[in-house]
Copies of this chain bind each other. A is one copy, B any other.
């Protein structure tokens, strides 16, 4: 589908590096018919030159009022099938939560009408919250998983879609793969399906998804490792989420050096592997993950909700590990990566308090900054999914995966429809970004594009 050449005019903001926002107040970004960034102008003068250079008749999308363009968010860990349970977890922790809330819901995805309703909804919700790329866990069902891939493609969301593999006796009778070979063949069937709808995985990619070590037999892990080696399709799974789970893995895999080694021994730990949670990695595990260049998805809302633990993000970053953010719906209550940024910021502060250094400055570097949270949500996530050359920032040659953010000027009449952020006029650009991160929601994301295609717009917004 050919797109119109488009000029996006107005302030734009993206992450230059982990700690620095690049804020351009007079920006113009030219996006070509393939949805790629053709040029970037950073001043009004440069805009005039650019317009003369073959872009005079391009479509124009302009920021009205107080707002900016920002890269689309990347959700590196979300269970699409669990969305109806978002916010429902009581006082459970991981292992009882799975049995009480999660497996009963996931097992119902034999019903394709139900699957369609839920998958349509979660894709719309994540898009409307600015998520342009999502790494989805589906269920064990091939038809419903394929449906999720179809829906992502038709709604235009960049996605990794994983058929969940779980064959171990620890999985419930009513919801598990019959055998290791079932895990392998059904995973393969979903890969083959995506090849038929998006042969080059240009928008939607399959992803090999062993649920987590306790759900999988050694044999099935080995088969999935073989599939990974044969197909070059990426892998996603869970690692070191909570302490009871880690003990369980020790008991189930007595010959493995540690939890990370379970995946490594099966050939599942590579540069194309996304490991969710990683709250309790040993130094040896961190070093192994780094040597394999595997990636980490930080899911702070879920880790707090299920009291799984504090992932030591500062330490992981300092050691050179690659980290992105994941909402982990429905361990996490929110499908919004912006909300997840808040959770990451607060979790880093709670970890700082818990280390006994809250009131003094000496552990200030445990705290994440707003800039760092936004980096994890964009550039960091892009690295986690292996697309750092295509998405996560605004650079010439990258795809236009972006959102238009609008902030509201505080005036006399309150209208809830424009969101909770109030700009009084004294705020610097940094302040505005802070207000957006702490107070913003989907109402501030008025339009969303993936590969140059408009995939969401708020009612009343005209592109």
**Chain A interface residues toward B at CB < 8 A:** 83-84, 86-91, 93-94, 117-118, 120-121, 124-125, 128, 242-245, 301, 303-305, 307-310, 333-334, 336, 342-343, 346-347, 349-350, 352-354, 357-361, 364, 367, 369, 410, 412, 414-417, 420-422, 424, 426-427, 431, 434-439, 441-443, 458-459
Query: Given A84-B424, A93-B359: A416 and B438 within 8 A (CB)?
Result: no
**Inter-chain contact B459/A417, CB cutoff 8 Å:** yes
Query: Given A353-B354, A443-B416: A434 and B88 within 8 A (CB)?
Result: yes
**Inter-chain contact B361/A439, CB cutoff 8 Å:** no
Query: Given A305-B349, A439-B87: A93 and B361 within 8 A (CB)?
Result: yes
**Most chain B beta-carbon neighbours within 10 Å: one of A88, A118, A358, A458:** A358
**Inter-chain contact A410/B367, CB cutoff 8 Å:** no
**Inter-chain contact B244/A412, CB cutoff 8 Å:** no
A94 vs B334: C-alpha distance in the bound complex, in angstroms?
29
B-side contacts of A245, CB under 8 Å: 359
What are 17 A-B contacts defined by CB distance under 8 Å? A84-B424, A86-B422, A86-B439, A87-B435, A87-B436, A88-B431, A90-B369, A91-B367, A121-B410, A301-B346, A304-B350, A305-B346, A309-B353, A310-B354, A334-B439, A336-B420, A420-B442
**Inter-chain contact B441/A333, CB cutoff 8 Å:** no
**Inter-chain contact A458/B358, CB cutoff 8 Å:** no
**Inter-chain contact B360/A244, CB cutoff 8 Å:** yes
A117 vs B423: C-alpha distance in the bound complex, in angstroms?
12
CB-based closest 6 A-B pairs: A87-B438, A354-B354, A243-B359, A333-B438, A307-B358, A350-B350
**Inter-chain contact A117/B410, CB cutoff 8 Å:** yes
B-side contacts of A427, CB under 8 Å: 84, 88
Query: Given A86-B435, A354-B353, A434-B87: A359 and B308 within 8 A (CB)?
Result: yes
B-side contacts of A416, CB under 8 Å: 128, 442-443, 458-459
**In the complex, what residue of chain B is closest to A442 when comparing beta carbons?**
B416
**Inter-chain contact A310/B353, CB cutoff 8 Å:** yes
**In the complex, what residue of chain B is closest to A246 when comparing beta carbons?**
B359
A36 CB to closest chain B CB (Å) equals: 28
**In the complex, what residue of chain B is closest to A433 when comparing beta carbons?**
B87
**Inter-chain contact A369/B424, CB cutoff 8 Å:** no
B-side contacts of A415, CB under 8 Å: 459
